[in-house]
């Protein structure tokens, strides 16, 4: 029987590096840890890339008053990862002008979970009974494997863990991961992901 003591890891603590699909060849690529500049290195085509491009989905949002007549203007548009301005047309006075947009980057793109640096699809993800299972990297996958494999789960009780208790990643997992009936099928799928 396996026991699992929650190490109190928040998801943020795990989002330091990633395994993703290469933007050039779709093969397995590493996004290095923050301390190493988060450089992307592909294991297949050897493409490397420093952060700058955003491949995921994002929304540009402008909320301003028209520069001519002060009419409030608002507009949302999908962001293509380059221009940070949106053209705004004022229906009241007819003025057209570009305004600086706020950019919101989305975690998912075309139904897949992406990394936070490049917005590329995570390598370790799979659909499970209509839900999406994913991990940032193999260590994250291993934590999930241990958690799911454990028949008895207990919260870490050292002071360090108590502090982080409310943000603990494991306490926020979606229900399909913690459901006992999914346990064996999930573990089988995780074993397959480890071989990717």
Least distance (Å) between residue 70 CB and Zn ion? 7
Binding range to Zn ion, per CB under 5 A, among 52-60, 93-101, 103-111, 136-144: 93-101
CA-CA distances (angstroms) from residue 183 to 10, 134, 194?
22, 15, 17
CA torsion 29-32-36-40 (nearest 10°) is 30
What is the pairing mode between strands 72-78 and 58-65? antiparallel
- Tell me: does residue 43 bind Zn ion (CB under 5 A): no
Q: How far apart are CA 8 and CA 164, in angstroms?
A: 6
Among 10, 25, 116, 173, binds Zn ion (CB under 5 A): 25
Least distance (Å) between residue 43 CB and Zn ion? 8
Q: How many residues does the chain have?
A: 196
- Tell me: does residue 120 bind Zn ion (CB under 5 A): no
- Tell me: does residue 24 bind Zn ion (CB under 5 A): yes
Q: How far apart are CA 94 and CA 71, in angstroms?
A: 11
State which of positions 45-74 bind Zn ion (CB under 5 A): 45, 47, 66, 68-69, 71
> What residue ranges bind Zn ion (CB under 5 A)?
22, 24-25, 27, 42, 44-45, 47, 66, 68-69, 71, 90, 92-93, 95
């Amino acid at each position: 029987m396996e026991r699992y003591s929650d190490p109190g890891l928040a998801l943020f603590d795990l989002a330091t590096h990633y395994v993703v699909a290469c933007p050039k060849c779709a093969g397995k690529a590493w996004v290095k840890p923050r301390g190493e500049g988060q450089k992307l290195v592909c294991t297949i085509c050897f493409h490397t890339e420093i952060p700058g491009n955003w491949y995921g989905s994002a929304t540009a949002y402008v909320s301003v008053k028209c520069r001519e007549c002060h009419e409030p203007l608002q507009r949302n548009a999908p962001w293509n990862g380059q221009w940070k301005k949106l053209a705004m047309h004022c229906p009241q006075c007819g003025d057209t002008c570009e305004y600086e947009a706020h950019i919101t980057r989305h975690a998912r793109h075309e139904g897949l979970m992406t990394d936070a640096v490049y917005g590329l699809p995570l390598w370790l993800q799979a659909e499970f009974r209509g839900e999406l299972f994913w991990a940032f990297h193999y260590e994250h996958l291993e934590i999930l494997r241990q958690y799911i494999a454990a028949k008895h789960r207990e919260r870490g009780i050292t002071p360090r863990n108590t502090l982080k208790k409310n943000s603990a990643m494991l306490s926020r997992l979606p229900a399909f991961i913690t459901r006992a009936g999914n346990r064996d099928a999930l573990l089988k799928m995780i074993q397959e992901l480890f071989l990717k």
